[in-house]
């Protein structure tokens, strides 16, 4: 368990100071990604892990022990008056059920990506949180790190002029080469867009603002994939969802982003994200990471690396919740802070829209709207 309240580190460089208080956190879903959250929770005194729950109680107890907290059932965690907010690390199709139960118990929620398994569930979660007046936050929080935030600072200070377009590219050979049970990546609800898209689309919205309309095209030209590791190595999987997706996102500003999300390449040297403006072009580092080099080219096209100019310097998984806390979301205004559920839902609707456009051939209007989250000034935390 981390230390007591009032321990927010001092910030420098004019970074805004959030309220000095500690948040008692319960974690639901003690699987693969919980280890990265534990590291953050063990380091940040402001997030105080008090309970861990999972359908598998032994797993919950193990993770709880590593975090100095109590392992328990989901029901016990939600009934605990000590828990103020839930970090929801369950699988996507359980996000809605578990988040709604936490909201009904009066807890704030911070849920991993994708926000929900369906847009309808996402709307239900957001409406329930709003009605209950509790915080509803959403991953990914990689965009709060120095990589995307340095790019954001460059856009905001006019270094590339007015942004007109962006290209986001994620091309890999697919996770079956290393993942022993990769079935879900090739079934509806999986695929490269829903798996990796949240990082890219959240970054594009952070840089260029909300999206109003999408179009898309998608394919699954390899109908079988072969498991490359583990006890099932050599077993063939059939593919029932697109494994290569392209989309165009029309932002409210008029800028257009092109998205390529694919498990059908061998490798790629394309920058994860490029943004082109009236005065220059910029490359943005891997949005699945918190840090990385931002480069811009102006005038004669010489690329230069920018100095780090924004973001949480020590950001890691869980900073989205810390940012909500530091911004005051838990002190009466759940709308404060950047990693808002409204953004998570908007990102989900954009991705679902691209898939639906690819299926029907028609463009899709995006009904949800999320404000472009405010920039994170350079912050040593
Ligand atoms: N694994 C990664 O690298 C990674 C990275 C970033 C984000 N994520 C996201 O984190 C979330 C969890 O991913 P993971 O890889 O840790 O999955 P996982 O399958 O390893 O773990 C999920 C855990 O949730 C538990 N669980 C499922 N339904 C539950 C329910 N109704 N109540 C309580 N517990 C329940 C499972 O028992 C399991 O222990 C997903 O939303 C995923 O997209 C994962």
Q: Assess contact for 171 and 262: CB atoms under 8 A.
A: yes
Q: Is 329 exposed, middle or buried (0-12, 13-18, 19+ CB in 10 A)?
A: buried
Domain 143-310+341-365: which CATH number of 3.30.360.10, 2.60.40.10, 3.30.70.20, 1.10.10.10: 3.30.360.10
Ligand 1 centroid to 189 CA: how many Å? 14
**pLDDT (average), residues 9-14:** 38
Ligand 1 centroid to 157 CA: how many Å? 38
User: Which H helix or E strand runs over 236?
Assistant: strand 236-238
Lowest mean pLDDT among 187-196, 270-279, 313-322: 187-196
Q: What is the spatial distance between Cα 136 and Cα 118, in angstroms, rounded to a whole number?
A: 17
Pick the closest to residue 345 from 31, 104, 99 (CA basis).
99
Token code pair at residue 220: 């699954």
Nearest Cα residue to atom 2 of ligand 1: 33
Ligand 1 centroid to 287 CA: how many Å? 20
State whether the beta carbon of 75 lies less than 6 angstroms from ligand 1. Answer: no
The model's confidence at residue 179, banded by pLDDT at 50, 70 and 90, is: confident
Pick the closest to residue 182 from 243, 130, 121 (CA basis).
243
**DSSP per residue over 179-207, as a string?**
-S-GGGGGSTT-HHHHHHHHHHHHHHHHH
Residue 28 has pLDDT above 60, yes or no: yes
User: C-alpha angle 54/60/61, rounded to 5°?
Assistant: 150
Tokens 């220059």, located at residue: 280
State residue 11's pLDDT score.
38
Token code pair at residue 65: 């022990």
The model's pLDDT over 153-169, given as tens digits with 9 standing for 90+, comes to: 999 999 999 999 999 99
Mean pLDDT, the chain, rounded, equals 94
> Which of 30, 33, 36, 122 has most ligand 1 atoms within 8 Å of its beta carbon, as the pocket-test mutant?
33
The model's confidence at residue 20, banded by pLDDT at 50, 70 and 90, is: confident
The model's confidence at residue 58, banded by pLDDT at 50, 70 and 90, is: very high
Ligand 1 centroid to 90 CA: how many Å? 4
Give the list of residues 6+ apart from residue 225 with CB closer than 8 angstroms, or none. 174, 176, 182, 186, 236, 237, 239
* Sequence spans of domains, the chain: 3-138, 143-310+341-365
The model's pLDDT over 217-265, given as tens digits with 9 standing for 90+, comes to: 999 999 999 999 999 999 999 999 999 999 999 999 999 999 999 999 9
Ligand 1 atom closest to Cα of residue 30: 39
Ligand 1 centroid to 82 CA: how many Å? 23
Query: Residue 96: helix, strand or coil by DSSP?
Result: helix
The model's confidence at residue 9, banded by pLDDT at 50, 70 and 90, is: very low
292: left (phi over 0), alpha (psi -120 to 50) or beta: left
Q: What is the spatial distance between Cα 45 and Cα 48, in angstroms, rounded to a whole number?
A: 6
State whether the beta carbon of 36 lies less than 6 angstroms from ligand 1. Answer: no
State residue 19's pLDDT score.
52
State whether the beta carbon of 30 lies less than 6 angstroms from ligand 1. Answer: yes
Nearest Cα residue to atom 6 of ligand 1: 33
Q: Is 266 exposed, middle or buried (0-12, 13-18, 19+ CB in 10 A)?
A: exposed
The model's pLDDT over 115-160, given as tens digits with 9 standing for 90+, comes to: 999 999 999 999 999 999 999 999 999 999 999 999 999 999 999 9
Q: Assess contact for 146 and 315: CB atoms under 8 A.
A: yes
State residue 212's pLDDT score.
98
Residues 264, 269, 275, 281: what is their CA dihedral angle, to the nearest 10 degrees?
Answer: -160
- Largest pairwise CA distance in the chain: 62
The model's pLDDT over 330-355, given as tens digits with 9 standing for 90+, comes to: 999 999 999 999 999 999 999 999 99
The model's pLDDT over 74-89, given as tens digits with 9 standing for 90+, comes to: 999 999 999 999 999 9
State whether the beta carbon of 129 lies less than 6 angstroms from ligand 1. Answer: no
State residue 305's pLDDT score.
98
State whether the beta carbon of 112 lies less than 6 angstroms from ligand 1. Answer: yes
234: left (phi over 0), alpha (psi -120 to 50) or beta: left
Q: What is the spatial distance between Cα 177 and Cα 228, in angstroms, rounded to a whole number?
A: 4
Looking at the chain, the whole-number percentage of residues with pLDDT higher than 90 is 91
Instruction: Provide the whole-model pTM.
Output: 0.94
Pick the closest to residue 89 from 61, 66, 111 (CA basis).
111
Pick the closest to residue 296 from 288, 286, 306 (CA basis).
306
State whether the beta carbon of 141 lies less than 6 angstroms from ligand 1. Answer: no
The domain made up of 3-138 has a fold known as Rossmann fold (3.40.50)
Q: What is the spatial distance between Cα 172 and Cα 243, in angstroms, rounded to a whole number?
A: 10
Of how many residues is the chain composed? Answer: 381
State whether the beta carbon of 44 lies less than 6 angstroms from ligand 1. Answer: no
Q: What is the spatial distance between Cα 337 and Cα 343, in angstroms, rounded to a whole number?
A: 11
State whether the beta carbon of 281 lies less than 6 angstroms from ligand 1. Answer: no
State residue 184's pLDDT score.
86
State whether the beta carbon of 348 lies less than 6 angstroms from ligand 1. Answer: no
Looking at the chain, the whole-number percentage of residues with pLDDT higher than 70 is 95
User: C-alpha angle 144/88/351, rounded to 5°?
Assistant: 60
Structure letter (DSSP) for residue 322: H
């Amino acid at each position: 368990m981390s230390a007591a309240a009032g321990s927010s580190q001092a910030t420098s460089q004019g970074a805004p100071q959030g309220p000095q208080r500690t948040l008692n956190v319960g974690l639901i879903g003690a699987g693969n990604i919980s280890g990265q959250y534990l590291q953050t929770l063990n380091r940040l005194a402001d997030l105080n892990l008090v309970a861990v729950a999972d359908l598998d109680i032994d797993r919950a107890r193990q993770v709880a022990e590593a975090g100095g907290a109590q392992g328990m059932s989901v029901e016990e965690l939600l009934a605990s008056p000590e828990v103020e907010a839930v970090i929801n690390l369950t699988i996507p199709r359980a996000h809605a059920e578990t988040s709604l139960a936490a909201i009904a118990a009066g807890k704030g929620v911070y849920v991993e990506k994708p926000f929900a398994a369906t847009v309808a569930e996402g709307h239900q979660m957001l409406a329930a949180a709003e009605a209950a007046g509790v915080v509803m936050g959403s991953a990914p929080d990689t965009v709060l790190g120095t990589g995307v935030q340095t790019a954001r600072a460059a856009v905001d200070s006019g270094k590339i002029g007015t942004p007109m377009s962006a290209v986001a590219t994620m091309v890999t050979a697919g996770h079956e080469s290393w993942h022993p049970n990769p079935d879900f990546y090739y079934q509806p609800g999986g695929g490269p867009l829903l798996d990796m898209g949240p990082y890219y689309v959240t970054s594009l919205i952070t840089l260029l603002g909300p999206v109003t309309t999408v179009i898309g095209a998608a394919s699954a030209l390899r109908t079988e994939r072969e498991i490359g590791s583990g006890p099932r190595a050599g077993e063939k999987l059939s593919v029932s969802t697109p494994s290569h997706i392209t989309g165009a996102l029309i932002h409210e500003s008029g800028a257009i982003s092109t998205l390529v999300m694919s498990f059908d390449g061998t490798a790629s040297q394309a920058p994860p994200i490029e943004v082109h403006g009236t005065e220059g072009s910029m490359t943005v580092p891997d949005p699945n990471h918190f840090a990385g080099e931002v480069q811009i080219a102006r005038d004669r096209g010489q690329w230069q690396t920018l100095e780090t100019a924004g973001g949480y310097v020590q950001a890691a998984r869980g900073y989205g919740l810390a940012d909500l806390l530091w911004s005051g979301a838990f002190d009466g205004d759940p709308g404060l802070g950047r990693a808002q559920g409204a953004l998570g839902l908007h990102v989900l609707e954009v991705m679902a829209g691209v898939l639906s456009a690819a299926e029907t051939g028609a463009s899709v209007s995006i009904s949800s709207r999320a404000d472009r989250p405010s920039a994170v000034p350079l912050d040593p935390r």
